[in-house]
């Protein structure tokens, strides 16, 4: 009869020996060590750590999330219930995740590159001869050039170091190439390439990646989504509907075609349409787009760069940077200390309330007001006299002082910058102001009053 050691209801540490064949942890988070011989280790309930040791071992995690270590021999390792991790070793092993939804196998200690297909037989390095069940959802490769292929389920495939090839197969997969020039393919489903954990990448779906750990990566067009790094990223989609997530850092997101979901994450982030021939309408307040941006959704985006055509860009309550670039653009900063750049073309800088641009240091900045291009500042949406019925127009008084009449609009030039200010209640004090970063001797014709 096999010799057996049983644990109790607490977290046990049990070391076997050459003549102990079975160790059963029962309850608690146990550590079981098989040592020599062909051992059977069963974790039971609790998050257990199971080490088979030498010999051809049978290791079962039982309930809860367990860690199973395949140290030597041709072993049979099964996670059981819970989200388990199997640390693969040498030998032709049989690996099964069990009933958990996020079971993983790691080959990070392999002495050579591995070729792993979920639901198939592995080769190379510590994967040689391994039979890997498709109930494993997560695979981490080695530091070498690995080839990892997912199954029909939703998988997470991580290449780690080396020039890896990751193929998602079916399901909605997450692909993490890691360091090295990796080749990533999503297969069926809605797949994501992730660079979380590195610093600063420049990645284009359906093309090459540049900078940082993404340098030299090739991403197939069947990857739909991109997740950036902890640094400043530039993420570019393809013609499909993409989800681009910048995460940390000051990111630039470019959706290209399709109805895209652009999420900047933390930091001051930009949604750009630079190079597009068709005009866009982007509203950061509602988080929606139309025109050539129809279907696009904006989350945690502070700045927008327009197209080569006449765009309409709306800010939010945050401090926004709106840049129209080419074309006759309309820029509406709304609340917050906004920076507005029209670019070439006859641009309109629109204001609809005195709160859109505060007096003093928090006033909006217009960086390139140019009369010769036909630029105008549209104040017609502001009621110039709050004491009179209806929406009253401003009276432009040039550089003269206020005369305690509501509705007066004036400008001053100090240190090469122009400040526009208006009095809407007749108290002789400015109720809003707008700064031009250049010196312009303004005329009434520069405004829509």
Predicted local confidence at residue 73, as pLDDT: 86
Q: Phi/psi of residue 214, each to 5°?
A: -85, -10
Q: Is the pLDDT of residue 2 over 70?
A: no
Q: Is the pLDDT of residue 369 over 60?
A: yes
What is d(CA 301, CA 284) in angstroms, rounded to the nearest whole number? 7
Q: Residue 5 pLDDT more than 80?
A: no
Please give the pLDDT value at position 58.
Answer: 87
What does pLDDT average to over the chain?
93
Q: Which pLDDT score is estimated for 182?
A: 95
Listed range (21-25, 84-88, 379-383) with the worst mean pLDDT: 21-25
**Rounded to the nearest 10 degrees, how much is the dihedral formed by the CA atoms of 382, 386, 388, 389?**
60
Query: What is the pLDDT at residue 7?
Result: 57
Mean predicted confidence (pLDDT) in 217-244: 95
| pLDDT for residue 173 is more than 90 | yes
User: What predicted TM-score, i.e. pTM, was given to this entire model?
Assistant: 0.91
Q: How confident is the model at residue 99 (pLDDT cuts 50, 70, 90)?
A: confident
Listed in order, strand segments (DSSP E) in 155-257 are: 156-158, 165-167, 174-176, 183-185, 192-194, 202-204, 209-210, 218-219, 225-227, 234-236, 243-245, 252-254
Position 295 scores a pLDDT of 97
**172: which 2 tokens?**
């909605």
Least confident of 58-67, 217-226, 245-254, 291-300: 58-67
pLDDT of residue 18: 66
Q: How many CB atoms lie within 10 A of CB 2?
A: 9
Give the position of tokens 């006449």: 310
Domain extents in the chain: 268-350, 351-449
| pLDDT for res 61 | 84
| Mean pLDDT across 228-253 | 95
Residue 11: per-residue pLDDT:
67
Find, among 16, 14, 70, the residue nearest to 44 by Cα.
14
User: How far is the C-alpha of 142 from the C-alpha of 149, rounded, in Å?
Assistant: 14
For residue 275, name the pLDDT band (cuts at 50, 70, 90): confident
Q: Residue 302 — φ and ψ, nearest 5°?
A: -100, -30
pLDDT tens track for 13-72:
877 666 667 877 677 677 888 777 787 888 778 788 888 878 888 888 888 888 999 888
Under CATH, which architecture does the 351-449 domain have?
A: 2 Solenoid (2.150)
Looking at the chain, the whole-number percentage of residues with pLDDT higher than 90 is: 79
Instruction: Using the CB atoms, write b or e for 139-166: b if 16+ within 10 Å.
Output: bbbbbbbbbbbbbebbbbbbbbbbbbbb
Share of the chain above pLDDT 70, in %: 96
**pLDDT for 114-169, tens place per residue?**
999 999 999 999 999 999 999 999 999 999 999 999 999 999 999 999 999 999 99
Q: State residue 16's pLDDT score.
A: 64
């Amino acid at each position: 009869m096999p010799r057996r050691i049983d644990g109790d209801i607490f977290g046990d540490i049990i070391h076997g020996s050459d003549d102990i064949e079975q160790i059963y942890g029962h309850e608690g988070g146990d550590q079981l060590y098989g040592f020599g011989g062909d051992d059977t280790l069963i974790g039971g309930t609790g998050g257990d750590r199971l080490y088979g040791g030498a010999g051809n071992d049978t290791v079962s995690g039982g309930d809860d999330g367990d860690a199973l270590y395949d140290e030597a021999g041709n072993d049979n390792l099964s996670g059981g219930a819970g989200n388990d991790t199997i640390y693969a070793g040498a030998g032709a092993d049989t690996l099964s995740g069990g009933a958990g939804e996020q079971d993983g196998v790691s080959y990070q200690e392999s002495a050579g590159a591995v070729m792993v297909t979920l639901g198939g037989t592995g080769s190379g390095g510590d994967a040689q001869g391994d039979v890997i069940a498709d109930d494993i959802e997560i695979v981490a490769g080695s530091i070498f050039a690995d080839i990892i292929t997912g199954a029909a389920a939703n998988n997470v495939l991580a290449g780690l170091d080396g020039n890896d090839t990751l193929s998602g197969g079916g399901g909605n997969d997450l692909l993490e190439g890691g360091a090295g020039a990796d080749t990533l393919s999503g297969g069926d489903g809605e797949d994501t390439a992730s660079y979380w954990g590195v610093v600063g990448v420049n990645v284009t779906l359906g093309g090459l990646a540049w900078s940082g750990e993404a340098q030299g990566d090739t991403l197939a067009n069947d990857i739909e989504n991109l997740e950036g790094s902890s640094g400043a990223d530039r993420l570019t989609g393809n013609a499909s509907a993409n989800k681009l997530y910048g995460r940390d850092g000051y990111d630039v997101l470019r959706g290209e075609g399709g109805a895209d979901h652009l999420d900047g994450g933390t930091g001051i982030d930009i949604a750009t349409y630079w190079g597009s021939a068709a005009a866009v309408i982007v509203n950061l307040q509602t988080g929606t787009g139309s025109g050539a941006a129809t279907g696009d959704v904006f989350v945690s985006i502070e700045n927008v760069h327009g197209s080569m055509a006449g765009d309409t860009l709306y800010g939010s309550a945050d401090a926004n940077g709106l840049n129209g670039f080419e074309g006759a653009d309309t820029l509406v900063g709304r609340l917050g200390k906004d920076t507005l750049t029209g670019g070439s073309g006859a641009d309109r800088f629109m204001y609809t309330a005195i709160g859109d641009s505060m007096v003093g240091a928090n006033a909006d900045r217009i960086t390139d007001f140019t009369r010769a291009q036909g630029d105008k500042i549209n104040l017609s949406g502001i009621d110039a006299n709050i004491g009179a019925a209806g929406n009253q127009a401003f009276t432009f008084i040039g550089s003269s002082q206020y005369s305690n009449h509501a509705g007066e609009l004036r400008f001053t030039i100090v240190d090469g910058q122009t400040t526009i200010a208006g009095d809407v209640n007749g108290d002789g004090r400015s109720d809003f102001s707008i700064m031009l970063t250049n010196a312009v001797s303004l005329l009434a014709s520069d405004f829509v009053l």
